[in-house]
Structure 1
Amino acid sequence: MMSSSDTAFAGSIPELYERYLVPLIFAPYATDLAARARRHQPSDVLEIAAGTGAVTRRLVDDLPPSTRIVSTDLNQAMLDVASRRGTARPVTWQRADAMALPFADASFDLVVCQFGAMFFPDRPKAYAEVRRVLRPGGRFLFNVWDTLDENDFPRVVLEALRQQFAAQPPTFMQRIPHGYADPDVIRRDLIAGGFRHSPEIVSVGAPSYADSAQLVAIAFCQATPMRAEIEALGSEALDTATRVAEDALIEEFGAGPVTGRIRAHVIEVRL
């Protein structure tokens, strides 16, 4: 079950997210999504759950200047970081709930979403909204993380935290980011949202790099909503969790620069 803290990118999280998580795990897939978007030569693009703008920046670089890009997120603090970071040309930043998109029917020929679908409380409803704002023949392009077994860094971090906080282990990473990895479930949700064409689902792996295990530990313990679960365990819990995660990562990957596997599903469906 999803809690309010699971979608709370508040306080220092947005800045830490942009600084640590984007280069660690999001940047490779932003490049991938933008390249896929470019193949369709869209004229009007909507991005939902844009976060701090990793995909937006790639879309600006990869699509013609004439392409209109509207980037939205439910969390204004994330959009504020994105707008401060800026883009090479103007885009529209707008707060919007994927459950009730504030756009007219058939407004876009491409909707893009990077690692946001896992956070939608009602995925078929969100997909129905995407379908509503797409033009006939338009495309919905999004990605979701594969299971923890296929993503080394969060797997090691979560295993370490389960041992450290055995009485009340954090569950966010397994429940939300890596909890929507079954292609059959994704297909059923798209059908329930009104999509009639069969989606193309491909699995894309990539290496993830960091200069140290400490940076990875900070990224997952302090720059995601798992932080709220950890902080609820006590005043010293966040420091303890970050240290324990760092130690586990060093044991698994070494004390210097670290490399781990990451893997996601990329989904494309036509209206």
Structure 2
Amino acid sequence: MAAADKVFAGSIPKFYDTLMVPLIFEAYAADMAELAAASSPGAVLETAAGSGVVTRALAPRLGAHARYVVTDLNQPMLDYAASRQGADSRIEWQQADALHLPFDDASFDVVCCQFGAMFFPDRAAGYAQARRVLKPGGRFVFSVWDRIEDNAFADDVTHAVATVFPNDPPRFLARTPHGYHDVALIREDLRRAGFASIEIATREKVSRAPSAGAVATAYCQGTPLRNEIEARDASLLQLATDRAAEVLASRHGEGPVAGKIQAHVIVATG
């Protein structure tokens, strides 16, 4: 994973939340919130919270006296998430690295992480941290994207942008969000971290947007793919976005568009 893969700053948090979240994250956030709240936890830790889509879905499901600690490595994303959340005394916002959690052992009933594990430099170490802060019998609930070929829009955008930079195609989407999809490897990393019970469900959903242009803008300007494009030639950001929109429209239509998305949803206990 490149260093720029973890940079969610500048205009990315707003584009990410207003474009990417409704496109691909909201549907899975509802699943995550349901799983995290199923055991009526008294203390929940969310890592890699991003712009807060799971936070907004999970907070209403928690008890009146629950403690909910929401963290992210990127302060700009955490600030944006907090700005979107209404006043709630149960929620604590804290910048934190999921590989070095600043919390005591056995502090939480549930640790949840939606589409963040792919960004961990050492996944087994991140999982071990989650297990460390979980109480005995606590649950680690997280999700990762399946391979890029099973996620139509991300695959189309990657191929389209590559035509703008044929000698050095940006590979962020394939490398990082969709680069950790091997179920056997996920199980092995969790076992190395000390988890004994591992349930993995592969869930297919449909991604929808008002237009191909909206999808292209979401991926090219609302994710670290933007950083890769601008690092090559910032003046070509709009051209890359337009090229992606053209390819998406040719494959999915000129009006509202829909495409397959697929992810693995994991529940692990010690």
- Shorter-chain TM-score bucket reads over 0.9
1:142 equivalent in alignment to 2:150: no
- Equivalent residue, structure 1, for 2:97: 97
- Equivalent residue, structure 1, for 2:2: 3
Q: CA deviation at 1:88?
A: 6.2
1:253 equivalent in alignment to 2:256: no
- Equivalent residue, structure 2, for 1:186: 186
| Bigger shift: residues 233-242 or 244-253 | 233-242
- Equivalent residue, structure 2, for 1:77: 76
| Bigger shift: residues 84-93 or 74-83 | 84-93
- Equivalent residue, structure 2, for 1:16: 15
Residue identity opposite 1:140 in structure 2: F
Residue-by-residue CA offset, 1:104-154 (whole Å, 9 max, x unaligned): 000001000000000000111111111110000000000000011111110
Residue-by-residue CA offset, 1:26-84 (whole Å, 9 max, x unaligned): 00000011111222111100000000110011111222222211100000000110111
Whether contact under 8 Å (1:57, 1:88) holds in the other structure is no
Whether contact under 8 Å (1:145, 1:180) holds in the other structure is yes
Gaps of 5+ in 2: none
Q: CA deviation at 1:233?
A: 1.8
TM-score by length of 2: 0.97
Residue identity opposite 2:247 in structure 1: A
Query: Quick one: percent identity of the two aligned structures?
Result: 52
CA RMSD of aligned residues (A): 1.0
Whether contact under 8 Å (2:161, 2:241) holds in the other structure is no
Tell me, in whole angstroms, the C-alpha distance in 1 between the residues paired with 2:36 and 2:129: 20
Match runs of 1:128-207 below 5 Å = 128-195=128-195, 197-207=196-206
- Equivalent residue, structure 2, for 1:237: 236
Residue-by-residue CA offset, 1:4-39 (whole Å, 9 max, x unaligned): 101000111011111100111000000011111222
Residue identity opposite 1:115 in structure 2: F
Residue identity opposite 1:55 in structure 2: V
Residue identity opposite 1:77 in structure 2: P
Q: CA deviation at 1:89?
A: 2.8
Whether contact under 8 Å (1:60, 1:88) holds in the other structure is no
Residue-by-residue CA offset, 1:186-241 (whole Å, 9 max, x unaligned): 0111111122x131000111111111111100110011111111012213221111
TM-score by length of 1: 0.97
Gaps of 5+ in 1: none
Residue identity opposite 1:128 in structure 2: A
Tell me, in whole angstroms, the C-alpha distance in 2 between the residues paired with 1:43 and 1:235: 47
Segments of 4+ in structure 1 off by > 3 A? none
Tell me, in whole angstroms, the C-alpha distance in 1 between the residues paired with 2:6 and 2:240: 20
Match runs of 1:118-137 below 5 Å = 118-137=118-137
Helix, strand or coil for the counterpart of 1:263? strand
Tell me, in whole angstroms, the C-alpha distance in 2 between the residues paired with 1:88 and 1:254: 41
